[in-house]
Structure formats: C-alpha cells, structure tokens
C-alpha cells in the first residue's frame, strides 16, 4: 500500500509522537486509513509488542485502530475506548488539505473507569496465555482524568501542525443529537457514573428516565439536571447515541442482520431503528455496512 504522506509529513508526525510519549509516557503509533502501521512504535509495551507479533491478534489490532480512527475523524473527538485486548486507546486523525493521511493511535494502558467502552463487539480471549498475563500486570493504570488530559495534549500538538476545519465534518440532519460524547472532565458525581454503567448493561432493554432515576435513588428532575450538566446531553440523547455507536460496531464487525441488530439494541421496529440511524449518520445501516464492513484486506 502506498503511503500518501510526504517525507516532511512523516517527520512532523514522528516528532509529534516522540514529544508526546516523552512527556506523557503513553504509547503511540501512526497508522494508515486502513489501520496498517506506517511509523515506528513509540514507547510500546512488551505486552503489545507480543500481541502484534501474532498475525491473528495483529488483524484485530488493525481493526481496532481503523474503527477508532474513523470514529475520531467523523466526530472530531478522541474519546478513549477499549481495544480487543482490554487496553485503553484513543485516536487523533491527521488531515492535510482536506485529505485524511492517517491516525495517531495512543494508549496501551489499563483503567478502572467502567464508563469506557469496548471498540469491538467481541473481545479477544487471552486468559490462558501466561506470558501475556504476566506482562499485563506491568502495564500502567490511568485514571479518567489522566486519559482525557492525554487526549487533549495530543490533539493540541496535532492541531498546531494540522489544524482541523469544522467544515470537514458531515452535517447531521438531526441537530439535537451530537454524534459523539466526550467528557472533557472526569465525572465527579457517583450517581451519573452509576447511571452510565446501568445504561450500558441494559442497552438492549426498555430503558426509561424513571427506571434510571430509581436505580440511582434520585428524583427524575434532579437526575436529569445533573446528568445534562456532567454529560452535556440529555439522558434520552445519550441512550440513543450509545445505541448508534454500538450499531456501527455491529454493522462493521458482525454478521448480524439489520433486523437482529435492531432488536439487540432494544428497538421493537426495525424501520424506526433505520430512521434514527440515518438521522445520526446520514447513511442507512446497509450503506454503512457496505462502506465500513471489515474484510480480510482491512
């Protein structure tokens, strides 16, 4: 595959990653728009070096890098997510003259923040690998605050050389619903954090504001207020957003039909699911699957 980056671009990108890892100690790598490595590995952990030496694991690493990069590009955000091995990563796209050159992927850390979601619908089972288990125990543990600070530092460094123009983002017809949620500050209210975990666990069920409020032992009005303050969106908007994010993963990386995905995400009518999906992505589920479905060449 041809690298569309010039030598000067590669030098700048490598300098960004070198300085970023020197300051934060967070690993980084530059990958193509298909998830393939284009640069050297900066501050890579022994755990990830061994994982990527396995062809089967490497394929899933490429999928994680690709999906994470596409999400960051489409939404102009760098929200941390968990890769197929359970580590936390985040992505910052490199765009020059309206051309996407690739993505800087960073992370390779552990976290106890349960609000960070898996990027792929199925995790890789490596529980029987004694060597990986030993190396996993040596990985750094980052708090939510440290993770979001790292994303902001990397974005600022990239934006200095490759400023992102907001006109590149596809316009979303349904303006009341953001395309992605990025909590710039760690959530400091336990009720909201508890609610996020509850929503994630019950995404395929009939979730209502009343049920969530009862779960966190708050009135509906007060809970709605603090949720909006912490998350920047309403409870209903957040649930819809979360379902659409999960739908995109399932469309790209699973063989489930659109009807099955609809029911998996708690929608009784597939037609309604398709309508909401198109409103939030500008594409039908079938169009999205055709465009981003994982293939052996990814």
Mention every residue, 6+ apart, whose C-beta is less than 8 A from residue 150. 24, 26, 90, 106, 142
CA dist 172 and 107 (Å) reads 29
Residues 99 and 59 in one domain: yes
Work out how many domains the chain is built from and give that number.
Answer: 2
Residue 178 domain-assigned (yes or no): no
Write the CATH number for 288.
1.10.10.60
Residue 173 domain-assigned (yes or no): no
Residues 44 and 121 in one domain: yes
Residue 255 domain-assigned (yes or no): yes
Residues 95 and 199 in one domain: no
Range of the domain at 30: 7-168
Residues 246 and 126 in one domain: no
Cβ atoms 87, 139 nearer than 8 A: yes
Residues 283 and 244 in one domain: yes
Residues 234 and 160 in one domain: no
Residue ending a domain, choose from 106, 136, 168: 168
CA dist 71 and 198 (Å) reads 24
Residue 260 domain-assigned (yes or no): yes
Residues 120 and 214 in one domain: no
Q: Is 262 helix (H, G, I), strand (E, B) or coil?
A: helix
Residue 93 domain-assigned (yes or no): yes
Residue 177: what pLDDT? 39
Residue 214: what pLDDT? 93
Residue 106: beta bridge partners? 28, 90
Residues 18 and 155 in one domain: yes
Residue ending a domain, choose from 168, 201, 236: 168
Residue 158: what pLDDT? 92
Residue 1 domain-assigned (yes or no): no
Candidates 110, 73, 75; CA nearest to 92 is: 73
CA dist 81 and 87 (Å) reads 8
Residue 138: what pLDDT? 94
Residues 92 and 39 in one domain: yes
Residue with tokens 């952990």: 45
Residue with tokens 């990653």: 17
Please state the separation of Cα 56 from the chain's center in Å. 21
Residues 54 and 120 in one domain: yes
Residues 164 and 208 in one domain: no
Residue with tokens 């974005």: 155
Please state the separation of Cα 44 from the chain's center in Å. 20
Please state the separation of Cα 79 from the chain's center in Å. 6
Residue 175 domain-assigned (yes or no): no
Residue 180 domain-assigned (yes or no): no
Residue 182: what pLDDT? 39
Residue ending a domain, choose from 136, 168, 200: 168
Block means of pLDDT (10 residues each) for the chain, 298 residues, are 77 96 95 87 95 91 84 69 92 84 92 76 86 94 84 90 58 36 50 85 85 93 88 82 85 86 90 89 88 55
Residue 187: what pLDDT? 45
Residue 86: what pLDDT? 93
The two three-digit tokens of residue 296, written as one number = 């052996």
Residues 63 and 154 in one domain: yes
């Amino acid at each position: 595959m041809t690298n569309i980056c010039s030598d000067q671009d590669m030098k700048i990108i490598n300098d960004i990653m070198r300085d970023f890892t020197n300051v934060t100690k967070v690993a980084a790598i530059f990958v193509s728009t298909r998830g393939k490595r284009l640069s050297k590995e900066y501050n890579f952990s022994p755990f990830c070096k061994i994982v990527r030496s396995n062809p089967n694991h490497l394929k899933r690493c490429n999928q994680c890098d690709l999906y994470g990069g596409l999400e960051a590009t489409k939404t102009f955000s760098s929200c941390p997510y968990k890769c197929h091995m359970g580590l936390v990563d985040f992505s910052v796209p490199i765009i020059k003259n309206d051309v996407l050159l690739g993505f800087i992927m960073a992370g390779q850390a552990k976290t106890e923040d349960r609000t960070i979601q898996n990027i792929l619908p199925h995790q890789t089972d490596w529980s029987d690998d004694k060597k990986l288990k030993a190396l996993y125990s040596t990985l750094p543990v980052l708090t939510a605050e440290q993770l979001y600070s790292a994303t902001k530092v990397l974005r600022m460094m990239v934006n200095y050389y490759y400023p992102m123009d907001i006109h590149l983002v596809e316009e979303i017809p349904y303006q009341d619903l953001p395309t992605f949620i990025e909590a710039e500050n760690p959530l400091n209210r336990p009720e909201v954090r508890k609610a996020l975990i509850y929503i994630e666990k019950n995404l395929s069920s009939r979730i209502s504001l009343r049920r969530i409020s009862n779960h966190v032992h708050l009135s509906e009005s007060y809970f709605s207020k603090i949720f909006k303050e912490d998350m920047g969106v309403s409870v209903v908007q957040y649930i819809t957003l979360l379902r659409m994010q999960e739908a995109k993963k399932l469309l790209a990386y699973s063989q489930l039909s659109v009807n099955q995905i609809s029911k998996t995400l708690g929608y009784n009518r597939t037609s309604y699911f398709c309508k909401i999906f198109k409103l939030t992505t500008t594409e039908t589920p079938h169009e999205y699957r055709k465009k981003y479905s994982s293939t052996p060449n990814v």
